[in-house]
Structure 1
Amino acid sequence: MDFEYSDEQQMLADSLRRYIDEQYTFEQRRKSAVATGGFDRGIWNALAEMGVLGLNVPVAFGGFAQGAESQLIVQRELGRGLVAEPVIPCAVMPAAVLDAYGSEAQKDTWLPRVATGESTLALAYLEPASRYDPRNVRCTATRLDDGYMLDGRKSLVWHGACADGWLVTARAGDTVALFLVPRDARGVASKDYASMDGQRGADLHFSNVKLPASALVGTVTSGLDALEHGLDHGIAAQCAQASGAMERLIEITRDYLNTRRQFGQPLAAFQALQHRLADMLVQKECALSMAYVAAQALGEPDACKRRRMVSGAKVTVAKAARHVGQQAVQLHGGMGITDELSVGDYFKYLTMMDVLLGDTDYHMERYCAAMID
């Protein structure tokens, strides 16, 4: 993988950083989170115009067909600005699933609208007792003459309430299949709520939801493969976004230590604090390196090797995120836990990074299982 930005990638990164610095201030972010639940249509449209939402969508469907390297660059900048809009759950992961496993009709219907920001999708695969395991599915899809009938519950659907449709896993006989369920399907109920870091989750309840046969994504036996494909893309994007958030948080902490004075000199003059800031920088660099590993894994044809690379990256980045977040709060002293500063927002985001898309325990088990296979 080439670590140097191309001219086009540098321009994209610069335009995103400029947009975030000038139009996505922390005051704007917090106001948007309260007023719109983290989904501001104006910001979403601006991201679409800059090519963020259609970055990995094929050109034939209105996207830009960029690779994992460009996605890493974009997510790193979004992480620096702690952009709350659901780019990963509602654009990156659904687009990856439909591009690889969707029918031509599904691609024609959804991918152009995802790329332009007109419509959003979300993955609904977790259940109250699933413990991150996508194979643990109790939601059922009963075969009908003209389609399927969906029954069951999904929980913790990342930004599920703002989605125009969901990619839902359901047990179809002895296999797990994936279905595209539109929001207006009869028999669907949703409950929206806020998470600790200001993002949104939703619980979905499906009661005798009738779906046409065309709602099936891929084949009846490819549901888990399709879901894993989308989750791996999401984790790679998440690792890049967390690396960007750590990078910006270290800059904020450095500036604070240079400004805050104690005993007649700035805090940055104390060697013990310099060492702690250096440790944060080392952890950030490790996380960024593993973000590149996760991005590279998306093109790996060996499924076991890809799982090892992605899960290894997730565990390493989550550990670094906890360290950087906690150190930043401590180095800010009592101010670090107040709403007056943005440090707390970064700390909450970096803390939640561990549990989103599978926590450390789950990915350690996944890594070990891939080693055995």
Structure 2
Amino acid sequence: MDFNYSEEQQMLADSLRRFIDTEYTFDKRRKSARGGGSLNRATWAQLAEMGVLGLTVPGEYGGFGESAASQLVVQRELGRGLVLEPVTPTAVMATAVLSAYGSDAQKNDWLPAIAAGERVVTLAYLEPTTRYRPETARASAERKGDGYVLNGNKSLAWHGEAADAFLLTARVCGSNELALFLVPGNAAGLTVHGYPTMDSLRAADLALQNVIVDASAMIGNAADGLPALLHGIDHGIAALCAEAAGAMEKLIEITAEYLRTRQQFGKPLAVFQALQHRMADMLVQKELALSMAYVAAQALDETDPAQRRRMLSAAKVTVAKAGRLVGQQAVQLHGGMGMTDELEVGDYFKRLTMIDPLLGDSDFHVQRYGEVMAA
């Protein structure tokens, strides 16, 4: 995989950075977050117009059919701006699942709408008892006539309030198969309870009480459910790594500017060697995270599932560790101001902290890495 930006990728990165700097300002982002929403329809439409939402959607369904390398370019810029909108769950994870496992009808119905910014789709696979092991889900799918009746609970559905549909896991009664269903957000019997997360995003808990779906709502067949879900999660991990690298990059720039302008003992803080060393440590960690984001993107082209998961787990753990260090150091280098809500440094710290538990925390990925190596 060539990680040098092509001319088209550079143009996309430049346009996204201009959009974030001029239109998606920090004040606008904070106002949207405090207003109780993480989906601004006007911003969503602008992202669609720039090609962000259809980047990896196949060309025959209205997208651009770009690779993971181009997705890394986009996620890195979105991370720099702490963009709230559900690009990762919809344009990355759901798109990956539907493109690889969806039926022709599902692709025709949903992929063009995702690319155009008309629909939001997110995954709902976590449950109060599953932790990061989706194969232990207890939600059930009972065959009835030409469809299925779904019952159970889902937790922490990323951007669940804004979703037009959920890619939802349920165990088929009478078998051990964990199927994946495309369930409309307004389905009868489906209750969605949204709430804010620490990093100003939104999540939702779902309650399913006799939710009836047609058999055509199943993604692939019942045996495809878990592989399809893991395929989407793999793409999500790679996107998160790139996003975190972008957030670290911007946070280091903010911190360096603060040290250049803040005076102590008649001198800028930037001249003190101890602080320079801490900034150097932050920069090294950011470069390490960016390198591992490249590894994660490259892993998506790996045909061996075990090798792919090993690479993704290594990247996720390394990026999470780097994000914690960069975020904590940035807060400390800002002194007392770093602990206030007045500066944006706290928002970056919170987002980088939340990168760890999303899509499997470090403990989970260290264990998975060990399991793959042992095998």
Q: TM-score, normalised to structure 1's length?
A: 0.99
SS in structure 1 of the partner of residue 130 of structure 2? coil
Superposition pairs of residues 199-218 of structure 1, within 5 angstroms: 199-218=201-220
Q: What residue number does 1:347 align with? A: 349
Q: In the alignment, is the contact (CA less than 8 A) between 1:141 and 1:149 conserved in 2?
A: yes
Structure 1 segments, 4+ long, off by >3 Å, are none
- TM-superposed CA distance for 1:138, in Å, is 0.3
SS in structure 2 of the partner of residue 206 of structure 1? strand
Q: What residue number does 1:153 align with? A: 153
Q: What residue number does 1:169 align with? A: 169
Q: What residue number does 1:314 align with? A: 316
- TM-superposed CA distance for 1:144, in Å, is 1.8
- TM-superposed CA distance for 1:35, in Å, is 2.6
Q: What residue number does 1:296 align with? A: 298
The Cα offsets for residues 45-81 of structure 1, whole Å up to 9 and x where unpaired, read as 0000000000000000000000000000000000011
Q: What residue number does 1:268 align with? A: 270
The Cα offsets for residues 153-191 of structure 1, whole Å up to 9 and x where unpaired, read as 000001011000000011112111100001121110010
1:259 partner letter: T
Q: What residue number does 2:13 align with? A: 13
Q: What residue number does 1:27 align with? A: 27
Q: What residue number does 1:141 align with? A: 141
Q: In the alignment, is the contact (CA less than 8 A) between 1:90 and 1:159 conserved in 2?
A: no
2:86 is aligned with 1:86? yes
1:369 partner letter: E
Q: What residue number does 1:280 align with? A: 282
Q: What residue number does 1:106 align with? A: 106
Q: What residue number does 1:122 align with? A: 122
1:10 partner letter: Q
Give distance in 2, aligned partners of 1:163 and 1:369.
35
Structure 2: tracts of 5 or more residues without a match: none
1:81 partner letter: G
Identity %: 65
Q: In the alignment, is the contact (CA less than 8 A) between 1:93 and 1:230 conserved in 2?
A: yes
- TM-superposed CA distance for 1:285, in Å, is 0.3
Q: What residue number does 1:222 align with? A: 224
Give distance in 2, aligned partners of 1:296 and 1:67.
10
- TM-superposed CA distance for 1:6, in Å, is 0.6
2:319 is aligned with 1:325? no
SS in structure 1 of the partner of residue 158 of structure 2? coil
The Cα offsets for residues 176-210 of structure 1, whole Å up to 9 and x where unpaired, read as 11000011211100100000010000000001111
- TM-superposed CA distance for 1:36, in Å, is 5.2
- TM-superposed CA distance for 1:83, in Å, is 0.7
Q: What residue number does 1:69 align with? A: 69
Which has the higher mean CA deviation after the structures are superposed, 84-93 or 347-356? 84-93
Q: In the alignment, is the contact (CA less than 8 A) between 2:94 and 2:123 conserved in 1?
A: yes
Give distance in 2, aligned partners of 1:218 and 1:364.
31
Q: How many residues align?
A: 373
2:130 partner letter: S
Give distance in 1, aligned partners of 2:199 and 2:341.
13
